[in-house]
Structures are given as C-alpha cells and as structure tokens.
Amino acid sequence: MTACWTSAMRALVAATLLLATATLMLVAVNTARAAGALAVGKCGAYGQAYDFSNPKAASRSALGKCEGKSCRIVITTRHACAALAVDGTHPCGGHGWGKGSRLGVAENAALRSCYKDGGHNCMIRTFFCDAKG
C-alpha cells in the first residue's frame, strides 16, 4: 500500500509540474504578443490589429485593413483595450475612440468622444483587447 501511495504521489507531482510549466509558457507567449492598433478613416472605415509583437507591426496591419486613403492610426495599445464608436444613424458624422486598461473603460471613452464630436446615436463599431499577460 505504501508503494502504491508513493507512485500515485509521484504521478501527481509530475502532472502538477507539467501543468505549471505549460501555464508559464502560455503566459510568456501572450505577454510577448501584447500590442495593438486602431486605424480610423472617413464614414466609419476602420482597421484593427491586436496581439502583435510590437505597436509598429500592429499599426501596419491596422492600416492595411482600413479602407480609404484617409485612414490614420489613432490608438496604439500595449496590454490594453481600444474601442471605436460611430453615430449609428450618420456614419459619416460624429465618431470617437477610446483606450483603457479594461474593455468597459475603452468603450465608455469612445462613446463620450463620439458624442463630443457631434454624434447623436453613438454606438460601438468595434473593440479589442490585446493580451494582458
């Protein structure tokens, strides 16, 4: 019975160490890929990129996804969230964006910015959070 108990304990310890190692590797990968960018153009056009290795790479990707020549990067993130809000009844009208440590903070900032820009029926058009590590 003691030999059986010892074998079971060894197996349990080995499994726990394996799980801990896998978890640390996953955290390291997510932490390394924790940059994002939001590009905005006219009439609700946008491009977003997240979980990139650095803000420059994320910015290139976001600009590549945004349709139109007027697109520009408005937010870059590192371990954060971003959101874009547009006026739902007039997409070429008021719009705004926000950034924050949590999604709700970013969305609230985007909505406030949209209303401040003259939007009357502002709604979240897109959002993202990059890896937080």
Quick: pLDDT tens for 47-79.
999 999 999 999 999 999 999 889 999 999 999
Residue 91 scores a pLDDT above 60? yes
Portion of the chain with pLDDT greater than 70, in percent: 74
Beta strand segments in the chain, E: 35-40, 46-52, 72-78, 81-87, 95-100, 122-129
Average pLDDT, integer, range 4-15: 59
- When mean pLDDT is compared across 30-44, 46-60, 102-116, the lowest value belongs to 30-44
Q: Are 129 and 100 in contact (CB under 8 A)?
A: no
Model-level pTM? 0.73
pLDDT of residue 131: 78
